[in-house]
Structure 1
Amino acid sequence: MTDITITAPASGIAEGPLTFPGTPPVTDRRGAFAGELARAHSELEQARAQVAEREREIERLRTEQITDGSDPRLIDFWDKAGRIADHADFCQEYDRLAEAMNGTPRHRDWEVEAEVTVTVRLTYSTSATTEDDADENARDGIDIDDVIAAYRDNGSESFDVSIISTERV
């Protein structure tokens, strides 16, 4: 660092370094900034290399021949082709082509008829002279409202589903 000196006429002002009270000394930090600049240049080169690699990948994906119908780049194609097939009544042709090329099958609407058996535990209060009479009263007295109330209160213990038929709508 260079000290600033002034020469003044001999009017009581002394000769020497000029300093201002309360100011920090100036230091040379160019060496530290040079290292920071080198790091920034290195990061820039890495970023440029990543951009170049991604551009090569994009070009490869853009020009590479697609050999599999399930390639993600064909999602829009299969979707539009399915809608066109539905509209133009080419559904069988589309289905055959999609299956042969490993394409996306069309979603269809189905109607499924099922028989569901639900097991619900409920308590029925009755007056009877024997246990058999109480059982008979319960069989005759329990109605759908009792079953629904027990289901709402306790949920179901189990249920079984049997498919009766499935038809395309």
Structure 2
Amino acid sequence: MSGIVKGEIVIATATDYGTGVRADYRGRTVHEWVREGEELEVTATGHKLFLNVRRAGGSGPVFRWRREHVKQVRQVGVAPEGAILPDDPRLMWLWEDASRLADRFGFCKEFDRLAEALGAPGREREFRIPMIDEDGIRITATVTARSRRLATQKIRDRITSSTPLAIGGADR
């Protein structure tokens, strides 16, 4: 288990109390009740027998949990070896249908957050991407894409192309 790193999500393999890293406002030790199977986010790994953790999602206080009471799991959004990647063209129909359902049922924000976390193509939407060049010129580009990463890549590709950029707006 020495391969556990800060920020990793692990699963509790025992039901027990964890000891709070910080005392409460009265100086008392705080205990956190953890059930087997709960996801914990590792916040520090420096101790030989314990990890500093908190509940996955960043909620609640940081507490000490025994290393022997966790197991490492595949991290969310990391495809297992040999799996079809989320942005594979063969899955595009699934993401398009999920996007349409998100629009239909009002789950757009949730869908966008999940797609971003999974590295999956999200809904087509506009992103405002701020840029600055080496001369200190600041520009904000509005780009339609399925993720912020793809929007940024579109801008980089466009700026490095040989075709000059047209300046639009009131200055024409």
TM-score scaled by length of structure 2: 0.26
Question: Which of structures 1 and 2 has the larger relative contact order (alpha carbons within 8 angstroms, sep 6+)?
Answer: 1
Q: Quick check: which one's strand share is greater?
A: 2
Q: Quick check: which one's helix share is greater?
A: 1
TM-score scaled by length of structure 1: 0.26
**Could you say which structure has the larger radius of gyration?**
1
